[in-house]
Amino acid sequence: MSDTPPTPAAAPATRKRFIVLALLFGCVWINYMNRTNISIAGTTMRDDLGIDPLKMGLIFSAFSWTYGWLQIPGGALVDVFRTRRFYSVIMFFWSAMTVLTGFANSLFSLIGLRLGLGLFQAPSYPAHNKIVTRWFPTNERATAIAVYTSAQFLVLAFMPIIFVGLMNTVTWRGLFIITGIVSILGSFVMYMLYRDPKDHKSVNQAELDYIEAGGGLVHDGGDAKPDTPKEKFNWGDLAEAFKHRKLWGVYIGQFCLGSLFVFFLTWFPSYLKDTRGLTLESMGWWVMIPPLGAFVGVLLSGYISDLLIKRGVSPGTSRKIPVLCGMVLGSSIIGANYTDSTGVVVLFMTIALFGNGLASIAWVFISSIAPIRCMGLVGGVFNFIGNLAGISLPIIVGYLARDGNFESGLIYIAIVSIIGFCSYLFLVGKVERIT
């Protein structure tokens, strides 16, 4: 008999990436809580401060002026700075902007604080994308993106009821102060809990190997391979982000996707109140239904997309099917123009936002096709062009609905959704990484 001791079995892979996913979900929740509180507060704020619909459209839009235009430098900063510290700092400062909004007394101060909120939130989604690209292999990435993205729809579904309760108790000013303080606490939680894969002490080598073998960029960022020189930003990276047709297809699609979503972030409560005659109290229940449809849509999208990948369907087909279907469904918002029933109106809105959820895994295209060395920068360009919708949509709808009639605004959103469908169908092409 041999005296050689048996080789110990390899330790099973840890699953710490799912804890990181839960943290990402919480970050997106806080992100959107700070964006959307004004959609409910605005229904009372307008009367309190004497702001007409067109000026309110400017306030709604102000966030995206900085958030959109700073996506490119924000994405570049994501490539330069360590995620843990950088993200915690920007979360702290955007939360401070929300607290200060509770003390605003004029149109100009509100616009300034919304500009500040957009400034500090600008790098957040490029950072989310880089985190998920580091922590998840390709065949799990669409599901991971769908899970953390779903938080934005749950905020739209459940937070309005909480916002209404807070506003009735502590006024719209207290609403901003409380949500801002909660978010500041979240920035400390992010700093304490997040680590990049190679810096995370409780992740074992088996999980790192699994992520890396599946295409996750575990060495990108915090602890690069010793023999790999650190990449630095250069202006050629910026040209790279704009010169590929497939990237433009995703960029345009994101603008179209954002147009529908921004309507629900900004004008939807006012639409129900001014056009459909709902009270603030009854509105809360109607407002929560369409985002629940989107929540189901985004989870279904990620599951279907990754399932098709695992079954051998090409990445292009697997990723595009949910997005194309979602864009078509988004155009169904126009149906709300042809009914007087609040229930049917909300049904059309739910179908449209379900479609928006289906298409909301679009970040997976950036994870799959962006050049590795400028992943954050390309994500910034993607979010910049997408958030031009956040700049334009509130003003366009505010102008079209200046007499209280939102019909033209809904037609505009439906047309833009069809343009997004055409962009993904004809411009994106084969889904493969640009080298």
Average pLDDT over residues 158-167: 85
Q: Is the dihedral of CA 110, 111, 116, 121 positive or negative?
A: positive
**Closest to 361 in 3D by CA, of 320, 317, 420:** 320
Return the C-alpha torsion angle 201, 206, 207, 210, nearest 10: 150
Residue 3 pLDDT? 53
Per residue in 186-202, pLDDT (tens digit) is: 999 999 888 877 777 77
**Which CATH number does the domain housing residue 208 bear?**
1.20.1250.20
- Please report, for residues 19, 35, 360, the alpha-carbon distance to residue 153 in angstroms, rounded to integers and kept in the order given: 20, 12, 10
Out of 114-128, 359-373, 392-406, the most confident range is 114-128
The domain containing residue 383 runs over which residues?
A: 17-212+240-426
Reported as a pLDDT band with limits 50, 70 and 90, residue 69 is confident
Residue 293 lies in a domain: yes
For residue 15, report the phi and psi dihedrals to the nearest 5 degrees. Answer: -130, 40
User: Is 368 a residue whose pLDDT tops 90?
Assistant: no
C-alpha angle with apex 354: 350 to 360, nearest 5 degrees?
A: 140
For residues 381 and 280, which has the higher predicted lDDT (pLDDT)? 381
For residue 309, the tally of other CB atoms under 10 A from its CB is 20
Per residue in 73-126, pLDDT (tens digit) is: 887 788 778 888 899 999 999 999 999 998 988 888 889 999 999 999 988 888
Average pLDDT over residues 373-391: 78
85 alpha carbon, distance to own chain's centre: 21
Per residue in 205-253, pLDDT (tens digit) is: 777 777 777 666 666 644 344 444 445 556 666 777 777 788 898 899 9
**Closest to 335 in 3D by CA, of 349, 325, 355:** 349
Residue 345 lies in a domain: yes
Residue 217 lies in a domain: no
Per residue in 408-424, pLDDT (tens digit) is: 888 999 999 999 999 98
Residue 225 lies in a domain: no
Residue 115 lies in a domain: yes
Residue 138 lies in a domain: yes
Q: Tell whether pTM > 0.85.
A: no
Residue 11 lies in a domain: no
Q: What is the largest CA-CA distance in the chain?
A: 93
Residue 227 pLDDT? 44
Residue 216 pLDDT? 67
Average pLDDT over residues 387-403: 81
Residue 7 lies in a domain: no
Domain total of the chain: 1
Out of 276-280, 309-313, 431-435, the most confident range is 309-313
Residue 188 pLDDT? 93
Average pLDDT over residues 372-380: 72
